[in-house]
Amino acid sequence: MISAGDLRKSRDLDRDELETLARDHIFPVVDGTEATFLFRGAADEVLMRHWIYGLSSTQPFERIHGTDFWTLTMEIPACSRVEYKLEIAEGEQRRLIRDPLNPHTAHDPYGANSVVHGAGYEVPDWVLPDGEARPGEIVDHVIGSDVFGERRTFQVYLPARYRETRRYPLLVMHDGEDFVKFAGLKLVLDNLIHRQEIPPVVVALTSSPKRLEEYAANENQGRFIVEELVPALEDKYALVGTPEARGLAGASFGAVTSLHTAWTHPGFFSSLLLQSGSFAFTDIGNEHDRGPLFDPIVEFVNAFREKPGKPVEKVCVTCGTYESLIYYNRSMVPLLERTGMDVRYIEARDGHNWDNWRDRMRESLSWLFPGPLWMVYE
């Protein structure tokens, strides 16, 4: 196998040898804690654009003399997962592209990024199709909302072999439809239920047409969930219908509205999954540098830190080490623990992205909804 050390010698290779190298190997090549990237193409400058908070987001490639090949070697800590693009500059034009020599990609609502895996990272087997796992079903719904004064669409995941004669726990997932599209949530649920790591669970997959407004600690979102969505689900489906069998989840702004909803309706849910929460706060006053969208969030988180209460029994917090939000999430954990809630914190070398949130699902969901206890919901 070619090593990063060998690749650094590529500056001494001729064009034919470089073409053979590019043809015969998948890039980037990871060797220990280093990853070496190769790009071929006409350019005045080639830059690595990644999303690792705390590291300069633009890492320059070096052109191999006399060729149109460019190379970069950078540190990638063990078990890391890093999404990136290449910035290609030609004259005054600049464009961002996926790495042509890297087949690994990750998708989000804005498109796709290339992905490099550090040594030791493996895509979890429970996110891959399992022919033995019975598939659940996703059902479309529409609800008339007095809170929002309009009709709202949402989806419901029903586990395989769902029966009206049983009673199921309920998980409400903010941005649920995007979790299905970009984090493979349906497949993950199918697999974890099949493996009996979580019980058969009904999952409400919600979304918002004004997400950055309604998920920013907006009390109407909480009222919609508690006063309209959950009662409608309990009328329609065979749910346990008591707080100990209800959970609420979300990522980024979705984590904010999940915590806010539980805080303003204490005891309605028993568990929270908060992934990469946008929990911006200040220690003095409410002035911050996150922009006006965060004004209501900062006001809420400051108030929550002042008087958190005990809105639920169990909270699982996950965050990526490479996120700009890592400080806020780390800071929230001891506060949550002091309330008497049972808290689990999961951190991984990843960024603010859907695959990070996907990769944390097994550990978080099996702790909040442990499989061996599923019969209590019958």
Q: Residue 115 sits in which domain range?
A: 4-122
* Residues 267-282, mean pLDDT to the nearest whole number: 97
- Round to whole Å and give the CA distance between 305 and 153: 33
**Which of the listed residues 122, 157, 185 is the one where a domain comes to its end?**
122
In this structure, the answer to whether residues 118 and 132 fall within a common structural domain is: no
Residue among 239, 230, 224 at smallest CA distance from 204: 230
In this structure, the answer to whether residues 234 and 362 fall within a common structural domain is: yes
For residue 374, give both structure tokens: 């599923």
Q: What is the CATH number of the domain that holds 76?
A: 2.60.40.10
pLDDT tens-digit map of 91-137: 999 999 999 999 999 999 999 999 999 999 999 999 999 999 999 99
> Which residues share a beta bridge with 59?
48
Buried-state track 172-185, b at ≥16 Cβ within 10 A, e below 16 = bbbbbbbbbebbbb
In this structure, the answer to whether residues 87 and 138 fall within a common structural domain is: no
Parallel, antiparallel or unpaired: strands 342-348 and 314-320: parallel
Instruction: Assign 3-class secondary structure to 12-55.
Output: HCCHHHHHHHHHHCCCCEEECCEEEEEEECCCCEEEEEECCCCC
* Residues 66-74, mean pLDDT to the nearest whole number: 91
The fraction of the chain above a pLDDT of 90, given in percent, is 85
Residue 281 near residue 306, CB atoms below 8 Å: no
pLDDT tens-digit map of 211-243: 999 999 999 999 999 999 999 999 999 999 999
Task: State how many domains the chain has.
Answer: 2
**Which of the listed residues 92, 122, 152 is the one where a domain comes to its end?**
122
In this structure, the answer to whether residues 254 and 226 fall within a common structural domain is: yes
> Which residues share a beta bridge with 247?
171, 271
pTM of the model: 0.93
Confidence band of 376 (pLDDT split at 50, 70, 90)? very low
Q: What is the CATH number of the domain that holds 170?
A: 3.40.50.1820
Instruction: Assign 3-class secondary structure to 129-198.
Output: CCCCCCCCEEEEEEEEECCCCEEEEEEEEECCCCCCCCCECEEEECCHHHHHHHHCHHHHHHHHHHCCCC
In this structure, the answer to whether residues 41 and 158 fall within a common structural domain is: no
- Round to whole Å and give the CA distance between 59 and 47: 5
Residue type, 281: F
Task: Give yes or no for a cis peptide into 169 (omega within 30° of 0).
Answer: no
In this structure, the answer to whether residues 106 and 195 fall within a common structural domain is: no
In this structure, the answer to whether residues 17 and 107 fall within a common structural domain is: yes
In this structure, the answer to whether residues 135 and 113 fall within a common structural domain is: no
Instruction: Assign 3-class secondary structure to 231-273.
Output: HHHHHHCCECCCHHHEEEEEECHHHHHHHHHHHHCCCCCCEEE
Q: For the chain, how long is the longest CA-to-CA vector?
A: 73
Residue 274 near residue 250, CB atoms below 8 Å: yes
In this structure, the answer to whether residues 37 and 116 fall within a common structural domain is: yes
* Residues 342-347, mean pLDDT to the nearest whole number: 98
